[in-house]
């Protein structure tokens, strides 16, 4: 078992001084992978001090030079994609192909996108007699989750560095190993000392120390809505700027003129990717009432293609959940849903046959739930899809918008103009039209309890800037 006692501060590896030890477990085998020592408050102070020392010089570094650093990081990360994919599969349980393509591949694309963005991004503009500047926000605390452990780090680090900020990253203690590997890449690429710093530990210990630290100018957090509220409360004590990317209960609206088979297959895939451990997962499938039975049959057939099992096996499309506690949380939702009158068209809370070892949950399609029921309203964060019938466009939109969340969504229609009209009425941050592809340059974030602010692209960069106007 790996024993990790280092953090990365001021361009070098230093020994952590915390007392807590966090066990990282392979969710497919339940075997221990690593024991990681938490950072102490003194370690956090040192990391913030290093970032503060580095900030004046980095914020004045020309954008072209910052872009060159980001490009170098992207290329170095790409060279280690297979290694990263294997590492993330071992700590998270995502199927190996998904880990290589998405978990390791997406951060490469995000870094490259910011290197390209800086080529022509204007940090100042003339407005009347004023010169309006986008100044670096300062020192950033980036607190990231376990479900996309490297992407979420890079989705904060890349725009922050592009904007001239320096960062202190705290990854989830559940899946910290890919963040440690990223720090190795940073060290090898020669990023100036103190521009990137890494501390380790839990949210209550290390995350809260960062969110309340006097040396932090901006907090960027991704995680649960409950934890996001806590971070926002802590940051607000000193009116510290905060952006939050939180939970979701996204709806896939299938209109009556849609290609039902294509829409259902895509909706199921949007619900089950990464074992459903995706904040923007399309976990509510809204279908015309008169086609509910047909849609259910199609969803069950699509779910059957998500073979659950060993994430290293080439045929596997659905790996385990990240931990025993996460598996029990998902099972709890399913047990309560059944007790409330819903039924399972496939799957359910029982352990999949032959997978008694590992934190597995079968791909599950829930039907017959009341739209007001817990299973149809709360974020389950597992391979669980809830099918709900609608009685036309207005009813579908009403069901979709009747949510505390507003992160993602999808609309399917045989008429692209109709799909767009419906999408414009949804109270959610992103909507895919007829299978629209992911775009790393588009802003990602949500309405309502899904958070504050946006990540990715130009809008993500601007989250790490302050506006200043010079009147002439």
Percent of the chain with pLDDT over 70: 100
- Whether 150 shows a pLDDT value over 90: the answer reads yes
Helix (H, G, I), strand (E, B) or coil at 313: coil
Percent of the chain with pLDDT over 90: 100
Q: Is the pTM of this model over 0.85?
A: yes
| Sign of the Cα pseudo-torsion (220, 221, 225, 226, in order) | negative
Q: What is the mean pLDDT of residues 166-182?
A: 98
User: What pLDDT is stored for residue 28 in this prediction?
Assistant: 98
Beta strands at 196-198 and 166-170: parallel, antiparallel or unpaired = parallel
* Cα(414)–Cα(255) distance, integer angstroms: 8
Q: Residue 326, CB half-sphere, CA atoms under 13 Å: how many?
A: 23
435 pLDDT band, cuts 50/70/90, is: very high
User: What pLDDT is stored for residue 7 in this prediction?
Assistant: 95
Q: What is the mean pLDDT of residues 169-175?
A: 97
Helix (H, G, I), strand (E, B) or coil at 371: coil
- Whether 420 shows a pLDDT value over 90: the answer reads yes
120 pLDDT band, cuts 50/70/90, is: very high
Domain coordinates of the chain in residue numbers?
2-246+450-471, 251-439
Partnered with residue 24 across adjacent β-strands are 34
H or E element in which residue 87 lies: helix 81-92
Q: What is the DSSP string of 145-187?
A: -SSSTTHHHHHHHHHHHHTT-EEEEE--SSS-HHHHHHHHHHH
* Cα(440)–Cα(155) distance, integer angstroms: 10
User: What pLDDT is stored for residue 418 in this prediction?
Assistant: 98
> Which pair of structure tokens corresponds to residue 53?
């020392």
Secondary structure percentages of the chain, helix, strand, coil, to 5: 40, 20, 40
User: What pLDDT is stored for residue 426 in this prediction?
Assistant: 98
* Cα(162)–Cα(148) distance, integer angstroms: 21
* Cα(263)–Cα(407) distance, integer angstroms: 20
Residues recognised as catalytic: 245, 279
279: left (phi over 0), alpha (psi -120 to 50) or beta: alpha
Q: What is the mean pLDDT of residues 261-290?
A: 97
Query: Exposed e or buried b for every residue in 330-362, given b needs 16+ CB within 10 A?
Result: bbebbeebbeeebebbbbbbebbeebeebbbbb
* Cα(65)–Cα(88) distance, integer angstroms: 31
H or E element in which residue 271 lies: helix 260-272
Q: Are 140 and 464 in contact (CB under 8 A)?
A: yes
| Per-residue model confidence as pLDDT tens digits over 359-417 | 999 999 999 999 999 999 999 999 999 999 999 999 999 999 999 999 999 999 999 99
Q: Residue 180, CB half-sphere, CA atoms under 13 Å: how many?
A: 23
* Cα(207)–Cα(304) distance, integer angstroms: 40
Apex 243 CA angle, 237 and 248, nearest 5: 120
Mean pLDDT of the chain: 97
> Which pair of structure tokens corresponds to residue 455?
């990540």
* Cα(278)–Cα(381) distance, integer angstroms: 7
Q: Are 99 and 319 in contact (CB under 8 A)?
A: no
72 pLDDT band, cuts 50/70/90, is: very high
Which of these, 39, 31, 32, lies nearest to 6 by C-alpha position? Answer: 39
**Domain 2-246+450-471's class?**
alpha beta
Q: Which residue has the tokens 């880990």?
A: 99
> Which pair of structure tokens corresponds to residue 96?
């190996």
- Whether 109 shows a pLDDT value over 90: the answer reads yes
* Cα(192)–Cα(130) distance, integer angstroms: 33
* Cα(157)–Cα(107) distance, integer angstroms: 10
* Cα(469)–Cα(463) distance, integer angstroms: 17
Beta strands at 284-288 and 251-254: parallel, antiparallel or unpaired = parallel
Domain 251-439 has CATH 3.40.309.10: yes
| Per-residue model confidence as pLDDT tens digits over 29-65 | 999 999 999 999 999 999 999 999 999 999 999 999 9
- Whether 429 shows a pLDDT value over 90: the answer reads yes
> Which pair of structure tokens corresponds to residue 36?
């990681």
Which of these, 276, 290, 267, 279, lies nearest to 411 by C-alpha position? Answer: 267
- Whether 319 shows a pLDDT value over 90: the answer reads yes
1 pLDDT band, cuts 50/70/90, is: confident
Q: What is the mean pLDDT of residues 340-363?
A: 97
- Whether 170 shows a pLDDT value over 90: the answer reads yes
């Amino acid at each position: 078992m790996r024993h990790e006692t280092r953090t990365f501060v001021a361009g070098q590896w230093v020994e952590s001084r915390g007392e807590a030890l966090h066990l990282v477990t392979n969710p497919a085998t339940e075997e221990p992978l690593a024991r990681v020592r938490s950072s102490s408050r003194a370690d956090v102070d040192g990391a913030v001090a290093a970032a503060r020392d580095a900030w004046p010089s980095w914020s004045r570094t020309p954008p072209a030079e910052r872009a060159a650093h980001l490009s170098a990081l992207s290329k170095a990360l790409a060279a280690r994609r297979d290694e990263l994919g294997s590492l993330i599969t071992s700590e998270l349980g995502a199927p190996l192909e998904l880990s290589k393509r998405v978990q390791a591949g997406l951060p490469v694309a995000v870094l490259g996108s910011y290197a390209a963005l800086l080529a022509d991004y204007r940090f100042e503009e003339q407005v009347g007699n004023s010169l309006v500047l986008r100044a670096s926000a300062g020192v950033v605390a980036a607190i990231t989750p376990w479900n996309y452990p490297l992407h979420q780090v890079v989705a904060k680090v890349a725009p922050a560095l592009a904007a001239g900020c320096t960062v202190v990253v705290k990854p989830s203690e559940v899946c910290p190993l890919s963040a440690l590997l990223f720090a190795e890449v940073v060290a090898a690429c020669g990023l100036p000392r103190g521009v990137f710093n890494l501390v380790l530990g839990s949210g209550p210990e290390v995350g809260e120390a960062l969110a309340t630290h006097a040396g932090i100018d901006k907090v960027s957090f991704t995680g649960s809505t409950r934890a996001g509220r806590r971070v926002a409360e802590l940051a607000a004590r000193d009116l510290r700027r905060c952006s939050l990317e939180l939970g979701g209960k996204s709806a896939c609206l299938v209109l009556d003129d849609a290609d039902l088979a294509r829409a259902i297959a895509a909706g199921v895939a949007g619900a089950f990717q990464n074992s459903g451990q995706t904040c923007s997962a399309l976990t509510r499938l809204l279908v015309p009432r008169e086609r509910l039975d047909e849609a259910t049959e199609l969803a069950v057939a699509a779910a059957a293609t998500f073979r659950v099992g060993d994430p290293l096996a080439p045929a596997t499309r659905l790996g385990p959940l990240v931990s025993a506690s996460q598996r029990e949380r998902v099972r709890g939702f399913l047990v309560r849903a059944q007790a409330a009158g819903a039924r399972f068209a496939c799957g359910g809370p029982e352990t999949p046959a032959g997978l008694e070892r590992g934190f597995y949950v079968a791909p599950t399609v829930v039907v017959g739930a009341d739209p007001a029921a817990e299973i149809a309203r709360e974020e389950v964060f597992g391979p669980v899809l809830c099918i709900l019938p609608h009685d036309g466009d207005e009813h579908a939109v009403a069901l979709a918008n009747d949510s505390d969340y507003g992160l993602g969504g999808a609309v399917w229609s045989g008429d692209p103009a109709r799909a767009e009209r419906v999408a414009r009425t949804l109270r959610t941050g992103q909507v895919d039209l007829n299978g629209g592809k992911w775009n790393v340059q588009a802003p990602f974030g949500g309405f309502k309890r899904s958070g504050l602010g946006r990540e990715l692209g130009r809008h993500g960069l601007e989250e790490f800037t302050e506006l200043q106007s010079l009147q002439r």
